[in-house]
Amino acid sequence: MSDFTDLAPTHAQLEELRDIAAELAFSEGTTAMQRAARDDQIRSAYAAGFSYRVIARYASVSHGYVRDVVKQTEGKRR
């Protein structure tokens, strides 16, 4: 049997993860108005013909997030 202790994160990796989590928490702390404005920009870019991937790259969000925003919009129109 192999020893899995080498898979445990190092102290430096834990510090890096903590920093990343703090940045995410800060970015997730955006106001509802800021999120709504970003979502409106995503919808506008999609309506202009840009792909999910291009929008995600320039909006600094995941491809899935863009897809979900667009699907929510399409669901409201029906």
Confidence band, pLDDT 50/70/90 cuts, at residue 68: very high
Residue labelled with tokens 């013909």 = 49
What b/e string do you get for 5-33 counting C-beta neighbours within 10 Å, with b at 16 or more?
Answer: eeeeeeeeeeeeeeeeeeeeeeeeeeeee
Q: Which of 69, 34, 36 is nearest to 55 (CA)?
A: 69
pTM of the model: 0.56
Model pLDDT, residue 10:
76
Model pLDDT, residue 29:
60
Model pLDDT, residue 63:
86
* Segment 9-59, tens digit of pLDDT: 677 777 777 776 666 655 556 677 778 888 888 888 889 998 888 888 887
